[in-house]
Amino acid sequence: MAIRLVSIRATQLGIFVLFIAISGAFGQYEESWRRVSNGNVPAGTVSGGALLDGTPIYVCRARYRGRWVGGRLLSNRCYIADGRRGRSETNFEVLVDGAGEFRWNRFRTLDYAIPVEDDRYVCRVPASDEGFVGELSNGRCRYAVGESGESSSVFEILEGREMSADVIRASENGDLNALRAAIRAGQLIDKRNSVGRTALMIAAEKGSDAIVEELIANRAAVNAVDDEGNSALILASREGKESTVGKLLGEGADPLIANRSGQTALTASAANGQEDVVRVLINDVSFTGMDVPNSINAFLEAARNGKEDVIEVFLESGMDVNVEDSGSGRTALMEAAAGKHGDTIKVLFSKNPDLEMIDEQGFSALQLASIADSDKTLKVFFEETGRVKQSDPEAQRALRAAARFGKRDSLEYLIKRGVDVNSKDNYNGFSALMWSASEGHEGATELLIRARADLNAVNDQGETALMLAAAHSKSNTLKELISAGADLNLRDKQGRTALAWAILHDHDDTRKELEKAGAQR
């Protein structure tokens, strides 16, 4: 097995020298690449198509910036793509298929793809007059058109014979003997499938510990990630593979790698309710304490998804029940309330959470439960835990929130609990009826009227619910208020009536209703 120097990089830990073994599919087909001399193309050179005039196109590769780049041979020059530029090289190699094994096929998998070098493969983009041969890299076929470098997500891949052993397939099937045979045959241990997953990632997700151990023993890349940014540890954690998670951590798997969705191993396991894995990750020596952002995010993710068993693990480990999300300002109790997770709320109440905390939008946990429109969730606060009384200011704020957002189930429950329907917000003096009327929530307005809400109560500006409905063009709630007997001619602090507000804002709908009812300007 040959060893080749790929790169030398400076890192915080010193100089990092990367070598790669030329093995696997790359090693298997390396002898099929032949250098061309004196313009003589060897017999059996793989065809990439032909021009309309019959000029043949062949598969080639040329050295550029220290690596092989795949391209097409035309008129004794190898055309390759360098980003957005096209290049032509006179020193190159062609791919020879002496046994007639190679075929162009629509791309489905990399299992039998012919490598240009390492993890880049021979591909072509069929065109109306010719085939543009290039190399597959990062999901696109990259090829040259004259002096321009192009790429396409629609392409064909050049495939060889099916190998008797394959690390990807062995990992998918949990076949240890087949895996060992593939490794002995020289396959790349970190070969990837069509979504960028290595054999280790596949085995880790399945919890195939014997496969994982064999791959690690053969120096599989523990912290490699797939096309979505998932590492083997994230995949194993998400699926609750506790034993596999422990093995990966023991081999240096990084628990703080985050995928494209921002999930780490801990947040992924927490969101899926994998409490045993969460416990393993929390106890891992890589963590410096329960205040790290990763653990906070995982705790809140568990609350958001109603995973009370995971919540218990975090609380037992010393997590502060009132910890807040750095962006939304929400606590675990708020997330559980917004998600209607009653059982999770009960677990959180065991640590006496602060009910008066509010998020960045100004909503408390009880208000969020009310906005979620779940009387069952509200019952947890009022009845099952007894943490909230109907006379509490927080209960009144929850009722006004239900009215503001038109949440009838919550509003009906809170009214039945005896919460004051005429309480007002401290910052603007709005009552529940003012909120429902101004937002056009007819059902909520009906409930409040039946509950004997004060029709003529005024806010800090002296405005009534009728004025607000008129000013906001809410003819449906305006009709309800008129029918219930709201005073048509009250004036606010600016001296305006409901009709004056409708005229001021050119709202013909509410103006006509008020004039029909006999309102004065």
Phi, psi of 394 (to 5 degrees): -65, -35
Alpha-carbon distance values, 7 to 10, 15, 20, 21 (Å) = 10, 11, 10, 13
Q: Quick one: 409 exposed, middle or buried, by C-beta within 10 A (0-12, 13-18, 19+)?
A: middle
Q: Which of 67-76, 134-143, 188-197 has the lowest mean pLDDT?
A: 188-197
Model pLDDT for residues 364-385, shown as the tens digit of each residue? 999 999 999 999 999 999 998 8
pLDDT at 268: 94
Closest CA to 199 of 163, 251, 240, 176: 176
Residue 190 is assigned to a structural domain of this protein: no
Q: Is residue 242 part of a domain?
A: no
Distances (CA, A) of 153 to 123, 138, 145, 157, 318: 11, 10, 16, 12, 49
pLDDT at 20 over 50: no
Going by the DSSP 8-state scheme, the letter that residue 225 receives in this structure is: B
* 180 lies in some domain: no
Q: Report in angstroms the alpha-carbon separations of 415 from 376, 384, 432, 434, 508.
A: 15, 18, 11, 16, 34
Contacts of 258 (CB under 8 A, 6+ apart): 229, 264
Q: Strand, helix or coil at 88?
A: strand
For residue 287, pLDDT over 60 is answered with no
What pLDDT is recorded for position 333?
A: 98
Q: SS3 for 266? A: helix
| Residue 158: its H or E element | strand 156-159
- In this prediction, residue 11 carries a pLDDT of 41
What pLDDT does 488 receive?
A: 97
Q: How far is CA 204 from each of CA 208, 231, 257, 272, rounded to the nearest angstrom? A: 6, 9, 16, 16
Q: Report yes or no on 239 lying in a domain.
A: no
Pinpoint the alpha helices (H) of 382-450: 393-404, 408-416, 432-439, 442-450
- pLDDT at 472 > cutoff 50: yes
- For residue 194, the model assigns a pLDDT of 81
Over residues 62-97, the pLDDT tens digits come to 999 999 999 999 889 999 999 999 999 999 999 998
Q: How many CA atoms lie within 13 A of 280 on its CB side?
A: 22
User: Does pLDDT of 286 surpass 70?
Assistant: no
pTM, two decimals, is 0.63
pLDDT computed for residue 30 by the predictor: 77
Who has greater pLDDT, 26 or 444? 444
Q: Could you tell me if residue 38 is inside a domain?
A: yes
* pLDDT higher than 50, residue 198: yes
Structure tokens at 151: 């790429």
pLDDT at 128 over 70: no
218 DSSP assignment: T
Both structure tokens of 407: 């949440």
**For helices 209-217 and 199-206, angle between their N-to-C axes, nearest 10 degrees:** 150
Residue 366 CA to residue 372 CA, distance in Å, equals 10
- What's the pLDDT at 16? 38
The strand pairing partners of 137, in sequence order, are 140
Give residues with Cβ within 8 angstroms of 455, minimum separation 6: 433, 449, 464, 465, 466, 481, 484, 485, 486, 487
- Spatial separation of the C-alpha atoms in residues 244 and 437, rounded to whole Å: 57
Asked whether residue 52 is assigned to any structural domain, the reply reads yes
Closest to 371 in 3D by CA, of 424, 408, 426: 408
β-sheet bridge partners, residue 150: 143
- Residue 153 scores a pLDDT above 80: yes
Q: Is the pLDDT of residue 26 over 90?
A: no
CA distance 30 to 316: 57
Number of separate domains in the chain: 1
Residues contacting residue 407 through CB under 8 Å, at least 6 positions apart: 370, 371, 372, 373, 401, 444
Q: What pLDDT, in 10s, does the model give residues 139-150?
A: 899 999 989 999
- What range does the domain containing 90 cover? 23-159
- Does the pLDDT at position 298 exceed 50? yes
Three-state secondary structure call for residue 287 = coil
pLDDT, the chain, mean: 89
Mean pLDDT across 101-120: 85
pLDDT digits (tens, 9 = 90+) for 264-285: 999 999 999 999 999 999 887 4
> For position 10, what pLDDT does the model report?
44
Q: What is the pLDDT of residues 211-268, one digit of tens each?
A: 999 999 999 999 999 999 999 999 999 999 999 999 999 999 999 999 999 999 999 9
Q: Any idea how long the chain is?
A: 521
Bigger pLDDT: 27 vs 421: 421
The residues, ordered by sequence, that sit 6+ positions from 506 with a Cβ below 8 Å of its Cβ are none
pLDDT per position as a tens digit, 404-431? 999 999 999 999 999 999 999 999 999 9
Overall average pLDDT of the 120-147 stretch: 87
Question: Is the pLDDT reported for residue 13 higher than 70?
Answer: no
Whether residue 261 lies inside any domain: the answer is no
Confidence (pLDDT) at 162: 55
- In-domain check, residue 445: no
Q: Is 39 left (phi over 0), alpha (psi -120 to 50) or beta?
A: left
